[in-house]
Amino acid sequence: MQQSRSGQVHILRLDDGEDILDSILKSTRDSRSTMLICTGLGMITDFELGYFDKGEYITRSYSEPHELLSVQGAISGYGEHRVHIHVSVADKEHRAFGGHLLSGRVWMSNEIGILRLDGVRSTREVDPEKKVALLNLQ
């Protein structure tokens, strides 16, 4: 992984085989008491997507490389870091689909941008009725 920071912006280049979510978490460890917005693109392989339905994820795994069309999400940085990332991907037939990124590895390269929102404290707390960890702004 290569990283560069300038002010509130943090740019990552993730390399072939790296765990995407773990790499994002490692790169944001020092960003406590804040919220971070994440975006990116590249290629992904060995990944699992989820669709949240009535308190649980319906999951599907993919072992072949796919184009990583977009990465969108937020990282809650106060207390335990929680990464909430959604992705859009495309297969060899140019069919696009997406979902919640539960796991995945870089295929070739990923370019990830992270914007730090200083002064915004955020956590994720489980809503017992909805059975999901919702964003809580403080």
In this predicted model, what pLDDT tens digit does every residue of 39-95 receive, in sequence order? 999 999 999 999 999 889 999 999 999 999 999 999 887 667 788 999 999 999 999
CATH label of the domain that carries residue 49: 3.30.1330.80
Find the domain containing 58 and state its range. 2-137
DSSP conformation class of 83: E
The secondary structure of 17-51 as a DSSP string is T-BHHHHHHHHTTT--SSEEEEEEEEEEEEEEEEE
Looking at the 3D structure of the chain, how many domains does it have? 1
Q: Are 82 and 133 in contact (CB under 8 A)?
A: yes
**pTM of the shown model:** 0.91
